[in-house]
Amino acid sequence: MNHDELNHWSKRAADWAQAYHAGLRERPVRAQTRLGETAAKLPALAPEKAEPMEQIFADFEAIVPGATTHWQHPRFFAYFPANASPASMLAEQLANAIAGQAMLWQTAPAANEIEAVMINWLRAALGLADDFTGTIHDSATTATLSAILTMRERTLDWKGNTQGLSALPRLRIYASGETHSSIDKSVRIAGIGQDNLVKIPTNADHAMDTQALDAAITNDLAAGFLPCGVVACVGGTSIGASDDIAATIAVAKSHGLYTHVDAAWAGSAMICPEYRHLWDGINAADSLVFNPHKWLGAQFDCAVQFLKNPTEQINTLGLRPEYLNTLGQDEVTNYNEWTVPLGRRFRALKLWFTLRAYGLEGLRTRIRNHINWGRECHDIISEMDDFTITTAPAFSLFTFRYKDSDAATQDLLARINDDGRIYLTQTRHAGQFVIRMQVGQFDCTREDVMMVPCVLKDLTGGQ
Ligand code: PLP
């Protein structure tokens, strides 16, 4: 395939994409396929001879869409969204065409400088203080890992990277049980160890009990551990729980600990000033992550980390062998030094396109609609026979249960997703199996959301 053929096939792909998105409502949301079915349709070995693109494209159409869970389906209410606004898809096409590698300023000046400006735009859009700067990672997991490595190294005066951890007292990190498993994964990868992630109990609001946090840190210090940081959450994955950010950070700071806030999903909602009380105190955080690829419409992957003092993270993650020097320009910002991988995609372009194509007003309207429709749907389900609301709406996320039974709830969830009109997933809350629903898909309408109680009624014969 050459570039002329690429032009032809790009137009075919654009036509295909248009028809695909227009027809999404006719498709079942979750892939209706059996394990191994797709792999069985592919030959065991790569072809020796080139194959015509007509055949490759035909196979794509025959094999892939039918075995795909449609994340851009307007009735995707599972997990959290991975939204791709049309403007961000276009930006990704252009970034793919350039196919650059933005590890250094000089390897991608436009990408580097647009990234810096997008961080400023988003900082202002979220109402954050001017002394935050930041970078774009692939995922919230990478941002959290970067923050946890920075907590570790700051505590060790940056000696862990060179001397290792084996001769040291055990390091400690604190978080509530409502934080995402990426925190557990990060403490494992950082060599701190899962047993040294202290899970602090939560209060009746599902927020970290800050007195218990204070006591845990004090006890650990007395026992010879080395506390290094606290991870708080705003809009946790399971039920949307939020910590009291001001109180949590105050406790952490009173012990000199680094703080990182995971707002991967709910951070996008902070473009609406009326939700910002849910992260009061955020400006005192050392680090904060949110994923525009979840709720803001900037296609996966796009995770923004804001930092108070990037030098601490650069001292932790940055390495500059001779071949990565920018000759004559030592002061330049090279974002690879702020993150784990060296190579970086041009992720800022989709933010630039998305923020301009919809405007903050347009994005706010979407998020407000999602939250209002989610609450309306919650109110209907709360009135339905045999259904119990298990957690109230947090932003646009709530959970419910059927016939107050794990088995009945699990069976209903399987039937919902086999039915295909909507897609919901589960969590475990207070020891119970519950169905979770969030509203956040970029193109969903009120009618799409109201389909949820309709499906529940259809499948249970309920009122
Ligand atoms: N934090 C929260 C609250 C999440 O919900 C998720 C994923 O859903 C993550 C972190 C991990 O996100 P990523 O896939 O960007 O690593």
- Kindly state if the Cβ of 139 falls inside 6 Å of ligand 1: yes
User: Cα–Cα distances in Å, from 60 out to 49, 307, 321?
Assistant: 18, 42, 43
**128 found inside a domain:** yes
Q: Distance (Å, rounded) from C-alpha 435 to C-alpha 22? A: 29
Distance 166 CA to ligand 1 centre (A): 30
**453 found inside a domain:** yes
Are β-strands 258-262 and 287-290 bridged in parallel, bridged antiparallel, or unpaired?
Answer: parallel
| CATH number of the domain to which 271 belongs | 3.40.640.10
Among the atoms of ligand 1, which is closest to the Cα of residue 293? 15
Distance 243 CA to ligand 1 centre (A): 16
Distance 182 CA to ligand 1 centre (A): 7
Of 312, 345, 378, which residue is a domain's last?
A: 345
Are β-strands 197-200 and 171-176 bridged in parallel, bridged antiparallel, or unpaired?
Answer: parallel
Query: In a mutational test of the pocket of ligand 1, which residue from 79, 181, 243, 291 has the highest number of ligand atoms less than 8 Å from its CB?
Result: 291
**Domains identified in the chain, total number:** 3
Of 27, 57, 72, which residue is a domain's last?
A: 72
| pLDDT given for residue 331 in this prediction | 76
**Residues 270-310: pLDDT tens digits?**
999 999 999 999 999 999 999 999 999 999 999 999 999 99
Distance 169 CA to ligand 1 centre (A): 30
**Residues 375-425: pLDDT tens digits?**
999 999 999 999 999 999 999 999 999 999 999 999 999 999 999 999 999
**374 found inside a domain:** yes
Same domain, 333 and 367: no
Report the 10 Å Cβ neighbour count for 39: 9
Same domain, 169 and 276: yes
Shortest-distance Cα residue to atom 12 of ligand 1: 140
Residue 243 is classified by DSSP as: -
**412 found inside a domain:** yes
Q: Distance (Å, rounded) from C-alpha 331 to C-alpha 432? A: 54
> Looking at residues 432-457, what average pLDDT do you find?
97
Same domain, 294 and 334: yes
**Residues 309-334: pLDDT tens digits?**
999 999 999 988 888 888 777 778 89
pTM for the complete prediction? 0.95
**47 found inside a domain:** yes
Of 24, 54, 72, which residue is a domain's last?
A: 72
Structure tokens at 296: 């803001």
Same domain, 149 and 283: yes
**Residues 53-112: pLDDT tens digits?**
999 999 999 999 999 999 999 999 999 999 999 999 999 999 999 999 999 998 999 999
Query: In a mutational test of the pocket of ligand 1, which residue from 83, 144, 145, 180 has the highest number of ligand atoms less than 8 Å from its CB?
Result: 180
Same domain, 374 and 327: no
- Kindly state if the Cβ of 143 falls inside 6 Å of ligand 1: no
Map residue 46 onto helix, strand or coil: coil
Same domain, 304 and 222: yes
- Kindly state if the Cβ of 291 falls inside 6 Å of ligand 1: yes
| pLDDT given for residue 348 in this prediction | 98
Q: Distance (Å, rounded) from C-alpha 282 to C-alpha 266? A: 13
| pLDDT given for residue 463 in this prediction | 55
Among the atoms of ligand 1, which is closest to the Cα of residue 138? 15
Same domain, 374 and 326: no
Same domain, 59 and 207: no
| CATH number of the domain to which 36 belongs | 1.20.1340.10
Among the atoms of ligand 1, which is closest to the Cα of residue 235? 3
Same domain, 270 and 174: yes
**78 found inside a domain:** no
Same domain, 28 and 125: no
Distance 74 CA to ligand 1 centre (A): 21
Same domain, 121 and 267: yes
- Give percent above pLDDT 90 in the chain: 94
Same domain, 132 and 64: no
**370 found inside a domain:** yes
**Residues 95-123: pLDDT tens digits?**
999 999 999 998 999 999 999 999 999 99
Range of the domain at 223: 101-345
> Looking at residues 347-353, what average pLDDT do you find?
98
| CATH number of the domain to which 367 belongs | 3.90.1150.170
| pLDDT given for residue 322 in this prediction | 84
Structure tokens at 315: 């001292």
Distance 141 CA to ligand 1 centre (A): 6
Distance 281 CA to ligand 1 centre (A): 22
- Kindly state if the Cβ of 395 falls inside 6 Å of ligand 1: no
Q: Distance (Å, rounded) from C-alpha 386 to C-alpha 286? A: 46
**350 found inside a domain:** no
**Residues 164-220: pLDDT tens digits?**
998 888 999 999 999 999 999 999 999 999 999 999 999 999 999 999 999 999 999
Q: Distance (Å, rounded) from C-alpha 322 to C-alpha 340? A: 18
